[in-house]
Amino acid sequence: MTITASQLIALLPLLITGATAVLVMLAIAIKRHHDFNATITVIGLNLALLSVFVIARQEPQLVTELLVVDGYAAFYMGLVLFATLACATLMHAYFKDFADNKEEVYLLLVLSAMGALVLIMSRHLASFFIGLELMSIPVYGLVAYTFRQKHSLEAGIKYMVLSAVASATMLFGMALLYAESGSLSFPALGAQLAQAGLISPFGYAGIAMILAAMAFKLSLAPFHLWTPDVYEGAPAPVGAYLATAAKVAVFVVLLRFLVEVPAAHASVWPLILGVIAFLSVFVGNLLAVNQTNIKRLLGYSSIAHFGYLLIAIVAGGTLALESVGMYLLTYVVTTIGAFGVIALMSNPAQGRDADAIFDYRGLFWTRPYLTAVLTVMMLSLAGIPFTAGFIGKFYIALSGVAAGLWWLMAALVIGSAIALYYYLRVVVALYMPTPGQRRMEADLHWGQRMGGIMVLVMAGLMFLLGTYPQPAMSLVTQAGIVVFE
């Protein structure tokens, strides 16, 4: 096997991220220093993000049979690295006063980001599984990182056990598909299944197992039961990573799988995916209504949001890729901003995170900037006009209407109305002062100030995407999937 120079350039984001993981590991072994390890992580992720702009100008590259680097992969690698960089910034602020070892959090984060990049470039069931496990296993440690808190350790163990079951289910499904087609490559698998005509029960079972495992990773109903507990128990910056970068990578490879293996998006599968989308929208929104914990609320909300995304996949067509791209972009910016405020309000040295809605009562009178950010992020998640969330939902609605999926459009409208209620509950609490409360600004260390700047940048991006989405639309339009035979 030979790797050409152009293929090496195409792998730059993955290579730089891997080198960053090695450097962070060496730095930890030589001397523990929180700021130094955080700096190495941020520099490495920035270099990896800059390399995405280099590969975006190249022709699509097939790197062995396992990986493909095209416009689609470049766009989502950039989005995942952007989200990981934001989460690293939040982790530096969050773990500043953490009493135990805190340097390994960056190593786990970068390793997980490597897995996400492999997942995004995958065009083969082997790289699909390797990338998924490389991304998921470090997340188990991240979720349970504040293990002295019982709810964090419980969340880590629960996520590890359930995720292992999902991975085993997916691996069994891959084995059945291999037995059916004799191939693990997406294009070859699609060609073999199409040539066979009528898929055998083993083929249907294999596709069903893979889709069920992916539904678990994306916390789609009825595979969502782990989501609120894990979101609540995980440290706030880890929750941000789990809700954005990790889920984006899984959704991206699922979409590539459905495009390159048409048998997985034919026959009865659109109806099944439509039912899952319908259930996810209503289950996620209805269960979020009575939540008094913001992290649980955002966990249930994410179930609904990925239900909306599934509507675009069911609709299919050329508009589906653009709809998914715009929605994921707006969702990542908004969700990081919301979790960012929670992270900046929390301190692991003081026990649990500041995740109860009551903790935010009257926040306007002590942290007005964070209040403004959380307010606009809640409005964006609700899909209010002039916010990024509105543009994302508009694209999903456009694809659904074009495909005539009126029952799913009804779910989108009703679900959005329900969501508006529980998002506004959070917003109202922010401006309700407690008796005797006076306006004051909290004293922040420099790590928290950097985190504050980051969430303000997210708020600015959210407004930019909501009022001037044309540049983002152009990027998404160019992020097409290239199928190599």
135-164 confidence digits (pLDDT tens): 999 999 999 999 888 899 999 999 999 999
Task: Give the gyration radius of the chain's Cα atoms.
Answer: 21
Mean pLDDT of 374-386: 94
DSSP H helices, 11-70, are 12-30, 34-56
Sequence-separated (6 or more) residues with CB below 8 Å from residue 350: none
CA distances 406 to 152, 312, 437, 472, Å, are: 41, 13, 49, 27
pLDDT the model gives residue 116? 97
Pick from 52, 44, 48: nearest CA to 75: 52
pLDDT the model gives residue 57? 83
pLDDT the model gives residue 265? 67
- Statement: residue 134 has pLDDT above 80: yes
pLDDT above 70 coverage of the chain, percent: 95
pLDDT the model gives residue 482? 65
Position 485 confidence tier, pLDDT thresholds 50, 70, 90: low
- Statement: residue 354 has pLDDT above 60: yes
Q: Name the residue type at position 209.
A: M
By the 8 A CB rule, do 337 and 459 touch?
Answer: yes
8-25 confidence digits (pLDDT tens): 999 999 999 999 999 999
Mean pLDDT of 245-273: 88
- Statement: residue 440 has pLDDT above 60: no
Sequence-separated (6 or more) residues with CB below 8 Å from residue 243: 231, 298, 299, 302, 335, 339
pLDDT the model gives residue 347? 83
Sequence-separated (6 or more) residues with CB below 8 Å from residue 460: none
pLDDT the model gives residue 202? 86
pLDDT the model gives residue 438? 55
Mean pLDDT of 387-398: 94
- Statement: residue 36 has pLDDT above 70: yes
Instruction: Specify the range with the lowest mean pLDDT, choosing from 16-20, 220-224, 407-411.
Output: 220-224
Arithmetic mean of pLDDT over the chain: 90
pLDDT the model gives residue 465? 93
pLDDT the model gives residue 447? 58
Instruction: Specify the range with the lowest mean pLDDT, choosing from 15-24, 147-156, 197-206, 339-348.
Output: 197-206
Position 197 confidence tier, pLDDT thresholds 50, 70, 90: low
Alpha-carbon torsion (297, 354, 112, 228), positive or negative: negative
Q: Which residues pair with 314 in a beta bridge?
A: none
86-122 confidence digits (pLDDT tens): 999 999 999 988 888 889 999 999 999 999 999 999 9
Mean pLDDT of 264-290: 90
pLDDT the model gives residue 443? 52
pLDDT the model gives residue 367? 84
Pick from 300, 214, 284: nearest CA to 254: 214
pLDDT the model gives residue 64? 86
pLDDT the model gives residue 468? 92
- Statement: residue 260 has pLDDT above 70: yes
Mean pLDDT of 262-277: 84
Tokens 């439509």 belong to 274
Position 436 confidence tier, pLDDT thresholds 50, 70, 90: low
DSSP H helices, 57-96, are 71-94
CB atoms within 10 A of CB 15: 16
- Statement: residue 433 has pLDDT above 80: no
CA distances 465 to 47, 371, 387, Å, are: 24, 20, 7
